[in-house]
Structure 1
């Protein structure tokens, strides 16, 4: 029987693209004030460069502007980006889902990768502590413990006081969100959003146990798991 549902954060509960846009708007205002350039034009250029390639966007915009810079200049921009309080919110299907899980007395948690400062700012804005029983930011454990490392799942199991087979993990990233099912008997669900990582390849071809396009579909999966569990108990009698 499922007693806990644990969620990824980015592109599962919130939009990573919206977070990136928020960060670029923030950085464009800083650059605008510093170099007397139009903030909206800088924002559009940042996003254009990101769409071409997500790598070294800040280096490339300064190159485009013809501005010389040092490594520390880039590191400061990156820090500003990660420290900013983002303009984000839950996807529309999140709060109804969490409310439904609470009604069923199912414990809920979050396991999220990403730089700790940025992730904590996201969690602060959405007031995550008001909705989730436990939250683990893997970067606070150490970079080596980002998913697909199982440590965060092992910790979540203990924090929620459930067994691995009583826990479901909902994520979006094929590269790291579903591998846990090859280590422990934890079922996984892939939610298809218009996410940044949707085209990544599956790690070792380990795929999700279920797939959904909206969190409202989670209710049906949990009901199927309950029936399956009940049938298993009856067969033992």
Structure 2
């Protein structure tokens, strides 16, 4: 459907922007723990995750005697499970304000189609004007092509992209002349510190998405 031109098009990253990504990790662990089987599996998965291990599910599954192809099958099913998620308070308030004002919003996210679609459904965001998922699109942020696609599908005089990760979120929209805002979360799953180049920095840093409500 072709939308009417808006003055400002709101576009969001998904993970750690509209909800805490730790909640998705927790939901995945709760889904897969009983399928791995044995005592204390969830607790071990969570301990390994908190310690920064890259593949806690793979390590625990192998340690519990689960081999390929069963391990890969379980992980594929897990990615498609209906996760237990909710928008954080700031995101819920901003999305509600946009809907009340009959304004549209869109989503641009890196990730697998199955897991990102499951998250979007769980969060009740299926009414987004455009949803660009890297696996479906064939490119990932920071590629500006994803944001050009939003310009076609969600027309606006200007766009605002809201994300959390300077490594990938802002270089593309900055290059297209968009407004950009970085949400800084205390509970982000991203532990690495980076020193972004100028083009990678958001133009504005916020602590809550409610700070953007006056822009509607």
Q: TM (normalized to structure 1)? A: 0.80
Distance 1:161 1:59, change over 3 A: closer
Gaps of 5+ in 2: 1-5
Relative to its length, the structure with more helix (as a share) is: 1
Q: Give the deviation of 1:129 after TM superposition.
A: 1.6
Q: CA RMSD in A?
A: 2.1
Q: How do 1:111-126 residues align onto structure 2 when only pairs under 5 Å count?
A: 111-126=108-123
Greater relative contact order structure (CA < 8 Å, 6+ sep): 2
Distance 1:127 1:68, change over 3 A: closer
Aligned counterpart, 1:16: 21
Matching residue within 172, 180, 185 for 2:177: 185
Gaps of 5+ in 1: 224-237
SS in 1 for 2:181: strand
1:195 and 2:188 matched: yes
1:219 and 2:213 matched: yes
Q: TM (normalized to structure 2)? A: 0.87
CA contact (8 A) 2:36 2:66 kept: no
1:153 and 2:147 matched: yes
**C-alpha distance in 2 between matches for 1:102 and 1:23:** 30
Aligned counterpart, 1:175: 167
Matching residue within 136, 142, 145 for 1:140: 136
Deviations 1:82-108 (A, max 9, x none): 011101111112222123234555431
Length, aligned pairs only = 209
